[in-house]
A and B are shown apart, each in its own frame.
Chain A
Amino acid sequence: MVGTNLTKRYTDTLAVDGINFSISQNECYGFLGPNGAGKTSTMKMIHCLSPVTSGTLLVAGMDVMTEARRVKSIMGVVPQEQNLDPDLTVIENLIVYARYFNIPLREARKRGEEYLDFFQLANKSNSKIRELSGGMKQRLLIARGLINKPDILILDEPTTGLDPQARHMIWQKIRHLKKEGITIVLTTHYMEEASQLCDRVAIMDRGKILVEGDPAKLVEERVGKDVFQVWCEGGEKEELTRDMKSFDFSYEQVGDIIYIFSKNGDEELKNLIAGKYIKFLHRPAALEDLFLKLTGRRLRD
């Protein structure tokens, strides 16, 4: 999948501003970014729902603008907004959806039952959609996205709003699908999700890709190895920032917390902080640190 100068403009807003990316077969690629960064617009262009304003987007060598039907036939889509069919039961949702792909009825039923098993929904087969919990709906939505045995799976915020149990179960299923050779493109607000699942991520903001690469490597290059998170009281804040300046560490102040980023698990730094401050946390640097560093802390909506 190759996007070149890919641009999406709605009547009065530029949602995606000439981005370039290339996703290889069997890769799990994540688009990250705050609300309004252009992730979902990009996803909608990929699954041919939203026309490309300019630039090109090729999926398996096919142009999404001219060969939408063929592109869509090898793709599974799990949209951000749950759109299961409330007029149908759980199993009917899968069968009817399979029929849109022209899958024969018997095969459709067989696959439907298989995927209900895979997503632990078999006992809900004849339930109505409104009787399902949020986690069940989301699993069914993914099952529906797989019904045509796609080569590429599009997941737009697959675990938003789910409890940790449901989220971990979905992660496990996604890893399983990846092992089976499906190319996965996902967006998420959860950095842990991206770190766990993605081979590569692109962090987007205001319609542009800011950085792209292996999440662990990106964090190491751009943030460092460790983060000291210090909760300061009274005059501690001024003292600590003075110290950091003299040691030449990069740091960031957010309210009463100071984040100090270190490149190589510095013993000296650790001793300094451990000796002086009571409330602190020493942890490995994470994707979230990079994300906030790049996109800032200001609220977006």
Chain B
Amino acid sequence: MKDYLKQIKLPIFSLRAVRVWQRNMKSYRRYYKANLLGALGEPVMYLFGMGVGIGGYLHTIEGVSYMQFIAPGLLMTTAMYSATFECTFGSYTRMAEQKTYDGILATPLDITDIVVGEVLWGATKSLISGSIMLVIIILAGLMRGSITMVPPALLLIFLVGILFSSMAMIVTALSPSYDFFSYYFTLILAPMFFFSGIFFPLAKFPGIIRLFSLLLPLTHAVNISRAFVMGNISYAVLASIPLLILGAFIMMTIAINLVRKRVIQ
């Protein structure tokens, strides 16, 4: 047991991980338009489609318009899906199809550098699409908090990116093929999308569902995001931040060790 613990690799941030990030950035420049459309199309449609469609029948929800209610949550799902797509389909292609990792491993970089670099890149993708989404929210007049809430909101987007990129890397490390990702999207992300309090408050659900909701990282992200966007920050909400950081750290550690197990034989 003790020996086993010794073998566990912890996330280490280094210049070497930045090299992996730079590699991804270089290739991103070629396809960013299509990529951004994919990342933003869905949340924008949800925001305005449901905001107007359902919002038209609701006077207010928890004291705000429906569009305003769902905007902070959609900001988080934008970050979540950007990171997830990058570190499932993108990373899997690099790892299994293109053998990019094998190429990188012949240089002074190791698995930790690669996974940390990939996660940083996934979080960067979150930051790119998330910040555009934030601008859309501000332009649509849905930001009630002061403009000073923008930098913390961006940090939150990045943190959510780190967390979901790490989770996606775990799935990538375990996937025998691309088909495997449907399980993750349908069984993990979709329930999270619905039960994190984005589209409706969970107050009317039975206790067991509310408890389940509290176990979902996205619930915590949505709560913080709502506090930032609405401009009403409480200590209870801020308590979610260390939870997300801890979750990101644990997930990244698991990701590094599983990718290592997969690639090194």
Kindly state whether residue A296 has any CB partner on chain B within 8 Å: no
Minimum Cβ distance to chain B for residue A105 (Å) = 10
A50-B264, A96-B23, A102-B15 known; A83 and B109 CB under 8 Å? no
Q: Kindly state the separation between the CA atoms of A102 and B26 in the bound complex, as whole angstroms.
A: 16
A83-B99, A83-B102, A83-B103 known; A100 and B109 CB under 8 Å? yes
- The answer to whether A100 touches B108, judged by C-beta atoms less than 8 angstroms apart, is yes
- The answer to whether A49 touches B105, judged by C-beta atoms less than 8 angstroms apart, is yes
Q: Which residues of B contact A70 (CB under 8 A)?
A: 108
Q: Which residues of B contact A83 (CB under 8 A)?
A: 98-100, 102-103
Minimum Cβ distance to chain B for residue A287 (Å) = 29
Q: Which residues of A contact B109 (CB under 8 A)?
A: 100
- The answer to whether B106 touches A77, judged by C-beta atoms less than 8 angstroms apart, is yes
Q: Kindly state the separation between the CA atoms of A85 and B20 in the bound complex, as whole angstroms.
A: 12
Q: Kindly state the separation between the CA atoms of A145 and B107 in the bound complex, as whole angstroms.
A: 9
Kindly state whether residue B27 has any CB partner on chain A within 8 Å: yes
Kindly state whether residue A47 has any CB partner on chain B within 8 Å: yes
Kindly state whether residue B265 has any CB partner on chain A within 8 Å: yes
Total contacts A-B at CB 8 Å: 70
Kindly state whether residue A72 has any CB partner on chain B within 8 Å: yes
Q: Kindly state the separation between the CA atoms of A237 and B30 in the bound complex, as whole angstroms.
A: 67
**Cβ-neighbour of B108 out of A49, A72, A144 (below 8 A):** A72
Q: Which residues of B contact A145 (CB under 8 A)?
A: 106
B90's nearest neighbour on chain A, judged by CB, is A87
- The answer to whether A96 touches B264, judged by C-beta atoms less than 8 angstroms apart, is no
Q: Count how many chain A residues have C-beta atoms less than 8 Å from C-beta atoms of the other chain.
A: 31
Q: Which residues of A contact B246 (CB under 8 A)?
A: none
Kindly state whether residue A68 has any CB partner on chain B within 8 Å: yes
Minimum Cβ distance to chain B for residue A58 (Å) = 18
Q: Kindly state the separation between the CA atoms of A102 and B105 in the bound complex, as whole angstroms.
A: 14
**Mask: chain B, 1-27; 1 = CB below 8 Å from A; 0 = not:** 000000000000001100100110011
Interface residues of A in 82-111 (CB under 8 A from B): 83-88, 92, 96-97, 99-102
- The answer to whether B104 touches A100, judged by C-beta atoms less than 8 angstroms apart, is yes
- The answer to whether A99 touches B102, judged by C-beta atoms less than 8 angstroms apart, is no
Q: Which residues of B contact A48 (CB under 8 A)?
A: 105
Q: Kindly state the separation between the CA atoms of A215 and B83 in the bound complex, as whole angstroms.
A: 55
A interface with B by C-beta (< 8 Å): 10, 47-51, 68-70, 72-73, 75, 77, 79, 81, 83-88, 92, 96-97, 99-102, 144-145, 148
A-B contact pairs, 7 of them (CB 8 A): A50-B264, A85-B98, A87-B30, A92-B26, A100-B19, A102-B19, A144-B103
